[in-house]
């Protein structure tokens, strides 16, 4: 508990500081690398203070000149700084609307173009997905947690359809991303933060152009199988 309090003493002011910098940078240039790099610096700071070391495997599967839809398992709140700090290329979040309601942090996310999905309103959710598809076709990569929320027990939850509708609408490849090791650091509904080692595993992109809304469930199954198999293998390897 004492260690968690010490992390909070450093991390909370840092969140306000870097979020404020992000907002200021976004007013200079809304889509600038400066604003994005402020959020990346915040993520790296949080990981350093929390004594979390991250290894990335599979960067060679990505091309810097392409946009992608990254789809990742969601184990912990630490998935956010881990992805921001260590995914190699610039991306935007497609995330639940609640994150955008966090003071300062949420406004910073909005200013640099992250996309919120209001799941309580079907029409608003559909409109957000349409906007995201347009942005992706224009060259923006996004990251989605297809489970919709964090795992309660460390296992991968069922996937929701929204991200796969977005994928077939945009025609952009899906990149399965498997995050190993964040659940023991900070499980859902817990407040104690533990140090640890995390691995990000980046798989080969999956083309979506041959899928439609009618066949999106096949795409969902394919992506989920890849993520689940790699995640379970990672758990076995650590035993």
Q: Per residue in 54-89, pLDDT tens?
A: 999 999 999 988 899 999 999 999 999 999 999 988
Any idea which fold 52-237 has?
A: Glycerol-3-phosphate (1)-acyltransferase (3.40.1130)
Domain ranges of the chain: 52-237
Q: Give the pLDDT band (50/70/90) at residue 10.
A: confident
Q: Give the pLDDT band (50/70/90) at residue 121.
A: low
Q: Report, in angstroms and rounded to the nearest whole number, the Rg of the chain calculated over CA atoms.
A: 17
Which one is predicted more confidently, 28 or 73?
Answer: 73
Q: Please write the tens of the pLDDT for every residue from 124-144.
A: 777 777 777 877 888 888 999
Q: Give the pLDDT band (50/70/90) at residue 120.
A: low
Q: Is the pLDDT of residue 35 over 90?
A: no
Mean pLDDT score of the chain: 87
């Amino acid at each position: 508990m004492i260690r968690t309090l010490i992390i909070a003493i450093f991390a909370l002011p840092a969140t306000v500081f870097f979020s404020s910098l992000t907002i200021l940078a976004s007013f200079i240039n809304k889509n600038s690398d400066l604003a994005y790099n402020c959020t990346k610096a915040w993520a790296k700071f949080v990981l350093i203070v929390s004594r979390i070391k991250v290894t990335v495997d599979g960067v060679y599967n990505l091309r810097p000149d392409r946009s992608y839809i990254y789809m990742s398992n969601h184990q912990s709140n630490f998935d956010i700084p881990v992805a921001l700090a260590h995914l190699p290329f610039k991306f935007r979040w497609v995330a639940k609307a609640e994150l955008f309601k966090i003071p300062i942090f949420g406004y910073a996310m909005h200013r640099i173009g992250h996309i919120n999905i209001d799941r309580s309103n079907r029409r608003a959710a559909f409109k957000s997905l349409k906007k995201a598809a347009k942005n992706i076709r224009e060259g923006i990569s996004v990251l989605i947690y297809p489970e919709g929320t964090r795992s309660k027990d460390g296992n991968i939850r069922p996937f929701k359809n929204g991200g796969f509708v977005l994928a077939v609408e945009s025609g952009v490849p899906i990149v399965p991303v498997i995050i190993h090791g964040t659940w023991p650091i900070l499980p859902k509904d817990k407040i104690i933060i533990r140090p640890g080692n995390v691995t990000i595993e980046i798989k080969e992109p999956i083309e979506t152009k041959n899928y439609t809304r009618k066949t999106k469930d096949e795409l969902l199954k394919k992506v989920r199988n890849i993520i689940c198999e790699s995640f379970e293998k990672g758990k076995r390897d650590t035993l």
